[in-house]
Amino acid sequence: MTRWRSGTYDFGVGLVSGAVSGFVGGAASSAIFGVKDKDGHVHHLSGSDALLAGALGAAGSLAGALTTGLGRTMIIQNLGGRWYHRQGFFDIFAVGGLGKLVDKIFSNLYLSGAIVKSAQPGYYQGSGEAPGANGGQ
């Protein structure tokens, strides 16, 4: 009984905290460090554009949690204690390390780019010229 409750709680907390941190991190880093458009030019965002970048970060976090994160949680909660020893070598290194590695590689290399490309925000379209050309920023 407790296993599904703790798994649901852990997944829910991770889902909410991941979405909040994705929003805050996306908005702040787009304003501080900037984002690249499809041509590779860096644009420092502010106002609603930075909030849109934060919303895309939150959407990426939710999409990652609902795909690979959900599958990973289900595997860990169902197999842990039945097929392998909890807090043993396999649980610490294989599930924790390799599971997180696969999760992050999928999220960072595919999912986040697919979300930005599907949303097509204004800053991603690009102007065709490098920032700073012709007196611009």
Segment among 11-20, 62-71, 86-95, 106-115 with least mean pLDDT: 86-95
Share of the chain above pLDDT 70, in %: 77
pLDDT value for 51: 94
b/e code 71-101 from CB counts within 10 Å (16+ = b): ebbeebbeebeeeeeeeeebbeeebeeebee
Provide the whole-model pTM: 0.71
**Minimum mean pLDDT among 37-46, 47-56, 67-76, 93-102: which range?**
93-102
The reported pLDDT for the residue numbered 29 is 93
Task: Identify the three-state secondary structure at position 41.
Answer: coil
pLDDT of residue 109: 80
Residue 100 has pLDDT above 70, yes or no: yes
The pLDDT value given to residue 136:
41
Answer with the residue of higher pLDDT: 21 or 70: 21
Alpha-carbon separation of residue 128 from 15, 30, 122 (angstroms)? 38, 20, 13
Q: What's residue 130's pLDDT?
A: 43
